Structure 1
């Protein structure tokens, strides 16, 4: 893709953003990122004590409004919780365990690990007093899974699925001009899919502010009708009136072309809505000399929708769209803008090495670019609705998409999920098909499946009739849902018969939604089952299956098939077929979990891409195999390829169309070189060469400059080279990383499906409760001997045994409390903090007889004390509090009875990763400042490397 054109495109986006901000200055709508400054802690699915005693009050949050307790109580003390930003996947932070789920990559999460399967998130925020009267919503793009949300103690709702976005109106629950607290409980105990899914708030969260009269989220639907060089754009907009009175207004729609020019607007005047009414309105806008969206030129327009009341813009909603035509033909396949396009796609789950499912937006772009570079033009969201930023990347970079529903069914739940998917995503030009389901083995072959599929297909068309509806079918052609779908997706032709399907249902469109499923470990060329390593030659995964090459030849020869999707583009966590523990990731990908291509990817690039290709495999480091035959393959689209070993020809062979070439070569150290010919002329060379010992670490970034926005990424490839500068393809060095400047490491990986190394190195937090609290009534709070270490309190009463009413306040003027906490051995690097909660007035706090807080005033309800480790000891430690008593203001209230807890924070260990077959990856993210990042890589047996990454406000190297 042309780099200069990409740079221009992003400058135009920046220009449009400036136009957008100018309009927002007039509009009351705000779309505010809510990702920063959350607190996180683990709860528990069944132990109420470990779940912060939530739901144990006399009135629950289900019983009466605003009665949230425990972790959902806005007054709950979360100071000892871990501080983090979203998106966040806590599953990727867990260790691996043989007791973990096979399908989820053996991470220590799920039913066997209740202490790591429920997570709590809390965030404090302020809302200006001037916002009173606006509609304010909290919107989640996705939480895995079974989330419950509260704001200021008010229960908002549940969302069971980990893939649905959801939004709550919180306008009436807010403290305008004051502090507010949102709490989210997430239960990832139960799996939703059979692949790695992560855990937590792993997608973005937004705070949306609008006028009472506004366009709701996902409230526009743009369709286009191309007529020669021009196009008619039909814009349907929903308007909500959430006011208590009738609203009279106008709607103005303006298209902004890719160059940032606003075209002539269209307006609907004199519109009214009754209180709490919503209605759809349609406007048609002509576009002369329309610039079409395509895979090669993904041109994007914007629709600006403005709501005007009394001539003033009170709401503005932006919609990005593309002008294009799509058509599936039952005999000729797929057409984009009238041009035949063979679908050359990949299936993909939504995780990446180092970060799991919490992928930053820039990583979505990196992954789509990696697929495009290998000649892939289509992406199937397997098997769930994607994050919106994935679709944005496909729109911007030119990748057509199957957007997939999670679960088939016809209840309000199933239809509601399908409707949300389509309504949310329908303006993305990249989407060419909605998939209603995948391999529903229990129903796909029977009449029940046919009934469900028929109903779902019709329902999907009622929402969007512009795209094809498909379902992925895994076997038993001609029955069940395979007979009722307009566009049937075939999973694995070894189980299907497309020719028979086409003959029986000649009007039906057909494509291959899954093909391949071949096994390969990057950089491995001899299968070793004991080590769970699969040779990276394209072979049948099983006798009754097809290799990648066989699959593509089948589809390429059948014009009635629209094309096929390889299983998969990227390796993913979980489903480590054909192995089990300790394999923790799949072997199916054309790229590994880091995005490093495997050799099979070069076969597809040869026949799916548009450039000349020559790729030679395997590597040529085979010490100990001298004289033994080595399988040598060449992937190429050249006419002929000739192979040389140390300058001696091993033979020239013609390249079969959609094929590859093979030689048997007796190994000898040196240089193995291939030369590709077109029309008899040498056009390409590729070689592999025996390397020496590792000498140097090499660091390279996917881009030299990133945005100083706190979001952008640099993807760093780590390799090692010998003294001649040749990359060593078999290296397994352990490399440690450190970073300086305005950036942070957020993940490491190496693509090894058997690696049990950590993806992240994060601080860990342990909390210690103060127990055995006792009390003694004393005359005053000065110079109390009772605070001494080892003071005998054996005859004291349990604390708070007497009710703290007005009578107690008259009788008791001062108290001494004593409690204890137990510490294991504390490391030098550990940081200890007492998060103190007031249990009295005018109090002083002592640990092991030494003062840590003296004369704390009535207003100091919560204090923090960094504890000197010299004060502490392994085993039992003592805490004493001298104070005047707290008295209940009302008979129905309680005073605080907990003095807080001790937090032990262990800083993160040094980032490191073993190279796998010569490669590893480090993901660096901007922290938001302009400057320079320096990444240093160190290994015991190689020269240290330092890489610099610059951070600018608006880099043009996206």
Structure 2
């Protein structure tokens, strides 16, 4: 139900009523993040990306099919931000207080057949202090209408667990969930079938009869176990997926069929080895980020998430921590398919205050329904290897849920018991703020006294001890409690590779870099619109420091040159982060004889740097000092136009090189189309087109700042034009922008009709030609 909605920003009296005249409202398709397209305002909350808080209305008229009568009809919302209410024909039928979790509305008895029905949705971004970061606003995830038999499986009603037995034999245990009252309406039976990735049936269960009655509202029915021999395993390098299809029969007639994907894989954790996947030690090289996607904001498109994961994969990342909320459902599908492991997280603080909860209803009142939705939705995904129940709550008692005076220990035990009611196959954790036992903080006297370096109480009772930063103290934490299985749930991007190098990788689980991709909100000051101490900008261009991280994450020999900016920038984040000099792209053209500093990242033994063919020195990689390892500096270089070449060697033999060529005058626009041959005409697929000013040799002129204008004809909608400037004052829905660092990124959305799309671009006299694309 994503198509054909009307939208109005702001409060609208009687917005839910069918008789309201919405003829002048904007027409659009979902998903849509309206907050990103509101004006940037200096007076607004910087944590919320300098966007004001607002409500908005969405309305859709639809005509129910006569064939739906007598069946069950559900409207499923995968999410909306931050909270919202849903109305059908003026009657309220559902609501949410936490738009990161989905919900469904049963409209079986409420539809009016033979006439138009109005679905109206009110959303609000929440109170200004209700989140510490940019949440966006609107119906940002998919909306579905589900037509089912009245005798059918419940929401997220299949649970599949595979367990290895002898040799390479696996048992598959399947459980199905059903409303208890349906058992009195006939003989109910279930059968499960397992299919491999090619669609070939591997095995099936016998029919499983159910009890004839139950007093439970929801009854869980275990289907007879199945055995699979020599399955293809799911892992990071070969993410093989299987499908479990469950059929429901009532009095011998099939009334429902539901499927879910899963994987055959084992996970193990231990204090001496950290984490093993299928018996093999894996160290998590991850990212921890909020769920926004650059120029589309929080609007959920499969393509937007896929391109993020592809870029991360190319730089050696293998893990994502979902900080600090459930991600869109398609994200987990993609991680299953692409071989990422995931730490799935429910919420930030266990509290209703302190910039951590934006709902109208108390989090502590509704956490059971949120946790149920979260775990049941996600538990079949093989990519998920750990549940995280919260983030940084022990630094103040009122962020720890129930006021039991033990810094969240009791609250966690209650939550964890509830969690493991629905899934016991994964360990649980909660990420710890940089603190000490009894809530001691960095600002407190004696924080660094050796006797005070004691881990927080909560981390000593979780299955996995997750710590945000403070990697230098993990050795002392282990001395205090040798049983700890340590995971660095947030590592500082500003510390670059030092947090990675200082981890005892043999015995710890891994680390996830905080804010590795720029995101909106949590700005440290106007006019910057968010967090940009990152490895990638929000269009996913890699900063040179991304190559430094890659030099650790990827084994192949590599070398990369970056220019070190002159200004030092210091920041404080969670009491602990001190900034460093920013590394830029090679995006400015120095004047002749300017003194510059070049920083070369490499995982090789040594690098020789040449300027216009003349050697300016050889430097060796100091692997004994984790502050300088893989980072080689050439200071006070007198710049000469031409070429800089870095030659990396191992044992005296060249194994990698990188060159930078200074550009001439910009003469044309270079066009890079990301998925020209795979643009689907499903109304949901995005196309990304990157424009770059180049000289006559095709070299990027990264200091060119001309004005780019676009026109689009054919089977596509214009979504955004994003120049990658984190200090922008421009709205992304404009078809004109100023090139930043010589480039910009256009985002188009296919229509539901296949055909030709023509894009025309103009930019300050640069040569251009029309771009012709096809949707398929």
> Is TM > 0.5 for Structure 1 vs Structure 2?
yes
Aligned to 2:509, the other structure's residue is in SS state: strand
Q: Is residue 551 from structure 1 mapped to residue 499 from structure 2 by the alignment? A: yes
Q: Is residue 76 from structure 1 mapped to residue 17 from structure 2 by the alignment? A: no
Q: Is residue 224 from structure 1 mapped to residue 188 from structure 2 by the alignment? A: no
Distance 1:517 1:413 in 2: 35
Map of 1:165 onto structure 2: 102
Distance 1:729 1:242 in 2: 66
Q: TM-score by structure 1 length?
A: 0.71
8 A Cα contact 1:621 1:689, kept in partner: no
Aligned to 2:367, the other structure's residue is in SS state: helix
Distance 2:409 2:640 in 1: 60
Q: From 155, 174, 191, give the equivalent of 1:252.
A: 191
Map of 1:98 onto structure 2: 42
1:855-894 matches, within 5 Å, as: none
Distance 1:322 1:236 in 2: 16
Distance 1:270 1:395 in 2: 32
Q: Is residue 660 from structure 1 mapped to residue 631 from structure 2 by the alignment? A: yes
Aligned to 1:502, the other structure's residue is in SS state: helix
Q: From 734, 756, 759, give the equivalent of 1:935.
A: 759
Distance 1:401 1:333 in 2: 15
Aligned to 1:103, the other structure's residue is in SS state: helix
Map of 2:744 onto structure 1: 920
Aligned to 2:429, the other structure's residue is in SS state: strand
Map of 2:148 onto structure 1: 210
Aligned to 1:267, the other structure's residue is in SS state: coil
1:185-584 matches, within 5 Å, as: 185-191=122-128, 192-227=130-165, 228-240=167-179, 245-274=184-213, 278-283=218-223, 284-406=225-347, 407-408=349-350, 411-440=364-393, 441-443=395-397, 447-474=406-433, 475-476=435-436, 477-493=454-470, 497-518=473-494, 547-555=495-503, 557-577=504-524, 580-584=525-529
Aligned to 1:943, the other structure's residue is in SS state: coil
What per-residue deviation string (whole Å, max 9, x for no partner) do you get for residues 406-440 of structure 1? 14269451232122211111111111111111112
Aligned to 1:263, the other structure's residue is in SS state: strand
Residues 951, 621 of structure 1: CA spacing in aligned structure 2 closer, same or farther, 3 A cutoff?
closer
Q: From 638, 647, 650, give the equivalent of 2:604.
A: 638
Q: Which moved more, 1:677-686 or 1:365-374?
A: 677-686
1:752-901 matches, within 5 Å, as: 752-761=725-734
What per-residue deviation string (whole Å, max 9, x for no partner) do you get for residues 840-893 of structure 1? xxxxxxxxxxxxxxxxxxxxxxxxxxxxxxxxxxxxxxxxxxxxxxxxxxxxxx
Aligned to 2:303, the other structure's residue is in SS state: helix
Residues 548, 621 of structure 1: CA spacing in aligned structure 2 closer, same or farther, 3 A cutoff?
closer
Structure 1 residue 624 displacement after superposition: 5.9
Residues 156, 928 of structure 1: CA spacing in aligned structure 2 closer, same or farther, 3 A cutoff?
closer
Q: Is residue 35 from structure 1 mapped to residue 2 from structure 2 by the alignment? A: yes
Distance 2:324 2:183 in 1: 42
Map of 1:750 onto structure 2: 723
Structure 2: state its 5+ residue gaps.
Answer: 352-362, 437-453, 564-584, 624-628
Distance 1:463 1:253 in 2: 20
8 A Cα contact 2:587 2:741, kept in partner: no
What per-residue deviation string (whole Å, max 9, x for no partner) do you get for residues 785-828 of structure 1? xxxxxxxxxxxxxxxxxxxxxxxxxxxxxxxxxxxxxxxxxxxx
Distance 2:612 2:248 in 1: 73
8 A Cα contact 1:697 1:720, kept in partner: yes
1:905-916 matches, within 5 Å, as: 911-916=735-740
Distance 1:612 1:712 in 2: 36
Map of 1:604 onto structure 2: 549
Q: From 700, 706, 715, give the equivalent of 1:727.
A: 700
1:1-150 matches, within 5 Å, as: 34-44=1-11, 51-52=12-13, 70-107=14-51, 109-110=52-53, 117-150=54-87
Structure 1: state its 5+ residue gaps.
Answer: 1-33, 45-50, 53-69, 111-116, 519-546, 762-910, 953-958
Q: Is residue 155 from structure 1 mapped to residue 92 from structure 2 by the alignment? A: yes
Aligned to 1:944, the other structure's residue is in SS state: coil
8 A Cα contact 1:620 1:669, kept in partner: no
Residues 947, 160 of structure 1: CA spacing in aligned structure 2 closer, same or farther, 3 A cutoff?
same
Structure 1 residue 503 displacement after superposition: 1.6
Structure 1 residue 87 displacement after superposition: 0.7
Structure 1 residue 90 displacement after superposition: 0.8
Q: From 661, 664, 670, give the equivalent of 1:698.
A: 670
8 A Cα contact 2:515 2:531, kept in partner: no
Structure 1 residue 355 displacement after superposition: 1.1
Residues 435, 587 of structure 1: CA spacing in aligned structure 2 closer, same or farther, 3 A cutoff?
same
Structure 1 residue 595 displacement after superposition: 0.9
8 A Cα contact 2:210 2:221, kept in partner: no
Aligned to 2:203, the other structure's residue is in SS state: coil
Distance 1:233 1:639 in 2: 49
Distance 1:197 1:458 in 2: 29
Distance 2:693 2:67 in 1: 58
Map of 1:801 onto structure 2: none
